[in-house]
Chain A
Amino acid sequence: MAPVLDNYLLTPATLRSIEVHGATQTRRSLLDHVLNPIIEESAKGPTTLGELRARLTQASNKLSRFGIFHPDSIRVLGSIVNEGQPGHQPAIPELDVSISVREQSRSALRLGTDFGNAEASGYTRAIFRNIFGGAETLAIDASAGTRTRSAYNATFSTPLNGNPNVRLAVEALRSYTQKPWASHEEHLTGGNFRLGWETKAGDDHSLAYSSVWRQLTNLAVGASPAVRADAGDSLKSSVTHIFTRDRRDHTGPLRQGGYILRTVSELAGWGPLKGDVSFLKSELQLNGARPLTLPGVSVGGGFRVGILYPLGSGFSIPGRGIRPSRINDRFFLGGPTDVRGFNIGGLGPHDGQDAVGGDVFAAGGVNMLLPVPGIGPSSPFRIQLFANGGRLVAFKNKGKAKEEDVSSTLDSRTVLDGMKSAVGELVSGLPSLAAGVGLVYAHDVARFELNFSLPLVERRGEEVQKGLRVGVGIDFL
């Protein structure tokens, strides 16, 4: 069969016309963006059936990525002009292509549940698709969860220039989230503009400007002075870039091969951005897994590192007027989906019971998955052996006496010294460590873990867990 097919694909052919059926609500210009390149290519000269087929397949992939057509409904049919009619055969066969699609409903209401890391929530979502015919989408969400008391969100997104790989989105949000590990609630109100694109290699980039009013309020009775000092309002105006390279093996939820690399970089308050906080915050995450020769056995590891570097605000005199970080922006470490064996926010500086967060951190872990004896490697259950640890260090003002005001400002020399010593502290000495064994159930929706862990190294004030804990989440360390 194959040689016949190959010969068939090499048959020269030209494109005469393309018709699209079923895209009644879709703008012509959007379809033009996808199909014009094919027409232009074909106008340059004769090509082969194989090449036409490849270009048409690419076009149909693009159409499906707009998200406005039913995924299985895109059919591409080609018919040779005047085939079978004697006396009218042109030298090179011409092709009429007919693409038929079925549009998804313009609006939909969805109720569902969502599993995030350390949180489960229920949501209502109203989606309006293809609003102006150009694959624009408006999604309005209202959700409530175990930790998020309520959250409202409206996002409008559109592909840019008819290219489904490049999307522009505008979002407005309002949320009320409880943070019991630091005895407070955070209320967020704000919006952002986001441009996302996918490179040819399959990497995702996203560049966003966001402006968020954070209100730290509803403190618990036992809240510590460190948290009380940060209570109140602050505006964060920042530009964020996120890069994701996901090369994980997605066959099956256990993801036993490949790696994922993600970097998040955020610049807040500097120059024209203004706002009440000013910093450069950067985080890198690398997770990988590798199956071993024995069936169902794999080893994996993860590593995360981040730094929050305070900057001078707005157009203040360079080198002065730098304010230290607030709890809203600092990193937290620990938790069943994070560094196992510690409470949520259990690592790092604590004031009494409250985790106050840190400015530099590094965390890593290794794990080995084994099939459960008696059930075998084909089930989604695995036994897990893990060891992980981390270190979260805060930036301290080494220079002055401790009676400085909460809002006293620093100069860049003090900041540099403080950050250098924080990084030095990060790498000196053992990180806080925990190890254990557990059972993993990998479902499409989320990954469930039941772990028995013991702390090996800790620091006074950090909150460790001894014994059994449940973890539910999407991404684990």
Chain B
Amino acid sequence: MSTTSALGWRPPIPRPLKRLFDSVPLLTFDANELPARAQSSTASDIPTLYVFSTEEDARKGLPSFNPKCLKWQTFLKLSRIPFNILPSTNHASPTGSLPFLLPARTSGAIEPIPSSKLYNFILSQKQQQQDEEFHPRQEAYQSLLDVPLRNSFLFTLYLDPTNSNLLDTLYIHPSSSSLWIRATLRHQLRRAAESEILKTTHSVSSGGPLKGFAHGVVHPDEIYRSAKEALEALAYELSIDNPGAEGNTGWFFGATEPGLFDAAVFAYVYLMVRFFSRPDNAEGEKESGEEETRPWLGDLVRQAGNGELVGHMNRILELTWPDLVVRDTHEHGQMEEM
């Protein structure tokens, strides 16, 4: 493949020179084959979604452990678009954050699709001409996801020391085996999570000339209270969208098919239930009179409303990952029937 000179002002190549250029090279061989590490990631005739995941989960197509990635992964599955997933890092993304989608090799397009353009891509794949109707209340509820639920998720995973092993396993250890690099990454992630939370919560001394600096303090009680309220509100919305147990479709805003908002709620709810549920043997601790320092997010999900959120989660799982439908076995009767 020839390349042109970097000098844009170059006059057109004189004819004899052009003839000379066209006559070389004299011999062209087949392309060099790619190295081993690149072989697995380059041959694909369906699009590939790059998400946070483990190698094994990615091979089996299991859910990602990151809410934003899981939202898009779920929506792609609900839209019945075939795709692969590959485990990746922020560094691989064109925007600096996951997920992003690489179209199929065979489609000819090589530009990756960041999450901001993913919705339009999916619409074009489904051959839908218009956006789904946006319910008037959707925007308000979207902010519930973006702020209180996200903050509580960020706090619990990144800043709560009881979950530091989980944080390590999911995000830190796969990056490198070096203790020094892991410590640096852990510190960077925690600072980033803290500043994200502080951007949207009010700390005692925010405002004034230092506004905008994440110098405040994170208040966990406030975060969990907001999360609980948000979950209650979402559960309430589900209940009024779906009056009556029979014949209800079970999706947000009374839609007949699950939409992007359903996928977004599912992403948070599923991950909270999966990772931040009180372990079964903790009941004994509570009875011994220990004070509960923080609520478990998984419990907050189950307790919201009449358990509509778990029902919603299971309904989505039935469509996407039927093997993972959660059958609750908690003894204290806080669960609803499917």
Contact, CB under 8 Å: B92 / A228? yes
Contact, CB under 8 Å: A215 / B91? yes
Per the bound structure, the CA–CA distance linking A221 and B312 in Å amounts to: 37
Select B37's contact among A221, A229, A458, beta carbons within 8 Å: A229
In the assembled complex, the CB of A141 is this many whole angstroms from the nearest CB of chain B, namely: 23
Q: Is the interface of A mostly helix, strand, loop or mixed?
A: loop
Q: Is A395 an interface residue (CB 8 A)?
A: yes
Per the bound structure, the CA–CA distance linking A460 and B40 in Å amounts to: 21
Q: How many residues of A contact B (CB 8 A)?
A: 72
Knowing A351-B42, A405-B59, A459-B31 are in contact, say whether A232-B36 is a contact too (CB < 8 A): no
Select A356's contact among B25, B38, B50, beta carbons within 8 Å: B38
Contact, CB under 8 Å: B5 / A456? no
B-facing residues in A332-369 (Cβ within 8 Å): 343, 348-352, 356-359
Knowing A228-B41, A356-B38, A403-B40 are in contact, say whether A349-B177 is a contact too (CB < 8 A): no
Contact, CB under 8 Å: B111 / A395? no
Contact, CB under 8 Å: B36 / A395? yes
Contact, CB under 8 Å: B30 / A460? yes
Contact, CB under 8 Å: B35 / A460? no
Per the bound structure, the CA–CA distance linking A393 and B33 in Å amounts to: 8
A-facing residues in B74-112 (Cβ within 8 Å): 86-89, 91-94, 102, 110-112
Q: Is B39 an interface residue (CB 8 A)?
A: yes
In the assembled complex, the CB of B34 is this many whole angstroms from the nearest CB of chain A, namely: 5
A-facing residues in B193-208 (Cβ within 8 Å): none
Residues of B within 8 A of A235 (CB): 176-178, 180-181
The segment out of A14-22, A96-104, A465-473 that lies at the interface is A465-473
A-facing residues in B231-270 (Cβ within 8 Å): none
Residues of A within 8 A of B111 (CB): 221-222
Residues of B within 8 A of A464 (CB): 1-3, 25
Residues of A within 8 A of B2 (CB): 464-466
Q: Is B210 an interface residue (CB 8 A)?
A: no
Residues of A within 8 A of B42 (CB): 224-226, 351
Q: Is B335 an interface residue (CB 8 A)?
A: no
Q: Is A254 an interface residue (CB 8 A)?
A: no
Residues of A within 8 A of B40 (CB): 229, 402-406, 408
Q: Chain A interface (Cβ within 8 Å of chain B)?
A: 213, 215-219, 221-226, 228-235, 237, 274-276, 324-327, 330, 343, 348-352, 356-359, 392-397, 402-408, 410, 418, 429-430, 454-469
Could you list 24 A-B pairs, sorted by A, with CB under 8 Å? A219-B92, A225-B38, A226-B42, A228-B41, A228-B102, A232-B91, A232-B92, A233-B89, A233-B176, A276-B176, A349-B31, A350-B31, A356-B35, A403-B40, A405-B40, A405-B58, A405-B59, A456-B27, A457-B26, A458-B27, A458-B28, A458-B29, A459-B32, A461-B32
